[in-house]
Amino acid sequence: MTSVRQRVGVMGGTFDPIHHGHLVAASEVAARFDLDEVVFVPTGQPSFKQGQDVSPAEHRYLMTVIATASNPRFTTSRVDIDRPGLTYTVDTLRDLRDQRPDADLFFITGADAVEQIATWKNAPELWEMAHFVAVTRPGHVLSVAGLPSEHVSLLEIPALSISSTDCRARARAGDPVWYLVPDGVVQYIAKYRLYRESAVKVAS
């Protein structure tokens, strides 16, 4: 009997916090590419955000679990936050491939991230490990010039002008983040006073 290969999306991000832009991107790619599952993978220590003040991984992981819980096709993985050292996509894809040997992987990125891929660690190897889907994002030109066209697809998605940077600034200023992030994430941010001086620590 031949086994049917699963089609699995991989949505990597710092998710500090996860917002509706991330969720719409994953949902649109899942629909257009007929994906069985989308795995959200919060980064451990993001290599490109060194020196920036990133929230503890457990907070980012738990917000991602809350945001994805209601969608039966969405899951959240700890592979990046449980791996010591800086996070690189080549390691993310290796770990997911080991966990799901019967899956074809589709790595989802926004327009801002995709133009950097050629600079990512082991970039030539990445093209063999997953198909890349680059989605539109307000404020960024979607350009895949210089990337191998057979390994990258472009997808226009509903424009949500939301960024984690803006959500953090709003929370810090006491402004609402309702409807920018899922309700449970609004409540999580308030409960742990995230993005404020007095943020509550969680055990890692």
Is 9 an interacting residue with respect to ligand ATP (CB under 6 A)?
no
Q: Report the residue from 68, 77, 89, 109 that binds ligand ATP according to the rule CB under 6 A.
A: 109
Pair 46, 18: CB distance under 8 Å: no
For 39, other C-beta atoms within 10 Å of its C-beta total 25
Q: Is the dihedral of CA 111, 113, 119, 122 positive or negative?
A: negative
Distance CA 4, CA 165 (A): 40
Helices 20-32 & 57-68, crossing angle to 10 degrees?
A: 50
Per CB under 6 A, does 88 bind ligand NCN?
yes
Q: Are the C-beta atoms of 8 and 97 separated by less than 8 Å?
A: no
Quick one: which of 8, 9, 10, 15 contacts ligand ATP (CB under 6 A)? 15
13 binds ligand NCN (CB under 6 A): yes
163 contact choice in ligand ATP, ligand NCN, none (CB below 5 to 8 Å, kind-dependent): ligand ATP
State the minimum distance, in angstroms, from the CB of residue 4 to ligand NCN. 27
Could you give the CA distance from residue 144 to residue 114 in angstroms, rounded to a whole number? 7
Q: Which residues of 162-180 are buried (b: 16+ CB within 10 A; e: fewer)?
A: bbbeebbebbeeeeebeeb
Determine the size of the site formed for ligand ATP (CB under 6 A). Answer: 18
The entry of ligand NCN, ligand ATP, none near residue 22 (CB within 5 to 8 angstroms by kind) is ligand ATP
- Residue labelled with tokens 């809350």: 66
Among 7, 32, 49, 78, binds ligand NCN (CB under 6 A): 49
Instruction: Tell me which residues in 123-182 interact with ligand NCN (CB under 6 A).
Output: none
Gap between the Cα atoms of 88 and 113, Å rounded: 13
Q: Which is nearer to ligand ATP, 5 or 127 (CB)?
A: 127
Q: Which residue is nearest to ligand NCN (CB)?
A: 12
Q: How far is the CB of 48 from ligand NCN (least distance, A)?
A: 4
Residue ranges in contact with ligand ATP by CB under 6 A: 13-16, 21-22, 25, 109-110, 112-113, 135, 137, 160, 162-165
Residue ranges in contact with ligand NCN by CB under 6 A: 12-14, 43, 46-49, 87-90, 113, 120-121
